[in-house]
Amino acid sequence: MYKLLEFLSAFLLCSFTANAANINDQQITLALKYAKTNDWEKAYSLAQASSSPKLANSLVKFKELLSGKYPLSSLITFHDENPWFPVCRFQDDIEKRIGISSTLQSIISWHKLCPAKHESARFLENYATSSLNNTIPSSKFFEHWAKISNLNPLIDQQIFDVYRKQIPSSLITRKIQNFMWQGNYEQAIYYSKFISPREQMLTKVKVSYANNLSGYEMLVKRYPKLKNDEYIKFRHIRKLLKEKRDTEAYNEFAPIKHFSNPEQWWKARHTIVRNFIREKQYKRAYRSAVHHGTKTGDEFQEAEWISGWVALKFLNTPKAAANHFYNSYMDCQYASCKSRAAYWLAKSYEKLNDKPKMEAWYDTAAKHKMHFYGILAITEHPKSLNKKFFDYLPRKEPAQQNMITPEIDNLVASTYYMSESGNNHIARILSKYIADSDLDPKIKHLVAEHLKDRKLLPLRIQYAKFLSNHKGPFLECGYPTDIHISNNKNSKSLYLAIIRQESNFDQSAKSPAGAIGLMQLIPSTAKRCAKTLGLHHNAFRTDPKANVAKGVNYLDGLVEYFGNIAPAIAAYNAGEKAVERWIREFGDPATMRSVSEVLDWIESIPYTETRTYVKKVLENMVVYESILQPDQPQFLASLLGK
């Protein structure tokens, strides 16, 4: 139970007070903009002059603390003075900033308040405890030190200097290897000074190769020992895969018997598995996937899922598949992951003719009603046929205004001001905190209504997405429809679904790749569509209507060209050439007869981002169809033309 919820439990029926935050105070927004540029004097001056100086000063102070300017003790004081603010949700940021100036006592006190999240923080807490207690570190302590590769370098070296005589060279070598795996070559070279001259030289050679990735054959010929070095092999195989030298990559990969960093290896292993699926070498694909070696987390969930999928769809071993899907399901934390594993468990038991288990897992998947596989489960479950999808959405009416306490109001106001001032990272964490807390769903709905009133569209949509991943209430306001779309050849739901996935309806959105606006158009695509529409080729940059018009034109062309929305959506994300290649390799969705075939095509897409993108857009479409045409529900089969 979160500390905030414990604090609020006695206040859930309180009404707003005169001290509740004024959401429309531009002074606070401006103060946080100055805080973003580290102009603290101006930021505090504006905060003090605002209508809610206590809140404003607290937010500016937190920005300053998060910059690492003050010691941990100041964060503890901030928490004591602002118990409503979820300081512990910023552990990713704070633990990186625990520096050599932090006292041992403050480290211990901080982690009593916020339990250590990362391995390095747990080690540092143990170090602080043993140092204050004057206990002699055990061998496990030094093994733990060797395992950690992301400590603050000054702290890391300080610990090493204190205990250098007690640390065996084998652990220093292990420490160097871990630095190599993390890409921290500077630290690897530093610690190589404390091992044998030959090992020091080999470390420098490995770093040199890792930085340029050329001359592998010459490298292992000159230094035969490096031929069996796991990290060098790892970098070489990744390079081969990137260059599409798949056979060579597998020949290097196959003889490896032990993987010391299976999570690091997973991306390369996954590529090899996908290559075998493309080549229809399903037994080799399964063998490559099933020995993944991961224990938990995203890599484990994906490895178990794809092992199950290959076993079920291509090897006809549904019992083995069910075991893999169950492993994935039990490790999943989020609805999208759980619904996928549950759906395929149902499919496995359907193949095994186990009707009770099949129906039970369909029911489990269908609980996640706003996610792709939850939607599929609803449409395929016998009990769900011929019912409107909208009937299944977990809608909640907003709470009464008097259920919002001043503390919750402060949280909502903080989220708003951080977003308005461009402090999006903090705003995102705050909105996620509200979404996945145990607050009454009605209160969560009312929070969204506040965000709706304040016209924070991108933040509101992100908040709705967070809620859907935590079985929160369905928020229709998280699916905007008030975008003018004209001259379109397809359902409006398609374009809205694309916009929601591409930009969260943020008109100013710009991707690292240079995609711009609501529909995230790249300049070359916009220029091509401009000629057809008679628009200036640069209009998409600043004019949302032009951006949408060009995006609609481009998307309509893709649907017409591919004859089915699944490859069209994939092409919007990955490009036409990639999709043409996948059609050659996995079949053409336009000619497939069933949703099951199209589903297998989607899951065969080798790009993780595009696979996820297609499913997200399709799930958005189903919800949009239910909003736009509640009396004429459209399920995936009809949207896919099947």
Q: How far apart are CA 395 and CA 398, in angstroms?
A: 10
Report helix, strand or coil for 488. coil
Residues 619, 375 contacting (CB under 8 angstroms): yes
Residue whose structure tokens are 């929305």: 565
Determine which one of 350, 502, 619, 625 is catalytic.
502
DSSP string of 67-127, one letter each residue: TT-S-HHHHHHHHHH-TTS-GGGGHHHHHHT--TTS-HHHHHHHHHHS---SHHHHHHHHH
Task: Establish whether 609 is a catalytic residue.
Answer: no
The residue among 215, 120, 231 whose CA lies nearest residue 183 is 231
Can you tell me the distance from the alpha carbon of 404 to that of 414, in angstroms, rounded to the nearest whole number? 15
**Token code pair at residue 504:** 């969260």
Which pair of tokens denotes residue 307? 């092992």
The CA–CA distances, whole Å, from 305 to 324, 339, 361, 533 equal 6, 12, 15, 44
Write the DSSP assignment of 357-413 as a string of letters.
HHHHHHHHHHTSTTSHHHHHHHHHSGGGTT--GGGGS-B-PPPPGGG--HHHHHHHH
Coil/strand/helix, residue 521: strand
| Residues forming a β-bridge with 395 | 474
- Number of other residues whose CB lies within 10 A of the CB of residue 194: 16
Q: Quick one: DSSP state of residue 403?
A: G
- Sequence letter at residue 147: K
Give dist(CA 31, CA 417) in Å, integer.
Answer: 10
For residue 557, what are the contacts with CB-CB under 8 A and spacing of at least 6? none
For 221, residues 6+ apart whose C-beta sits below 8 A from its C-beta are none
CA 546/CA 527 separation, integer angstroms? 12
Q: What angle do CA 306, 309, 315 make, to 5 degrees?
A: 120
**Torsion, Cα of 532, 533, 534, 536 (10° steps):** -100
Burial of 287 (0-12, 13-18, 19+ CB in 10 A): middle
CB 58 within 8 A of CB 417: no
Contact present, 620 and 626 (Cβ < 8 Å): no
Distance CA 621, CA 90 (A): 34
Query: Which residue shows structure tokens 């490790």?
Result: 331
Beta bridge partners of 521: 516
Contact 354, 379 (CB under 8 A): no
- The residues assigned a catalytic role are 502
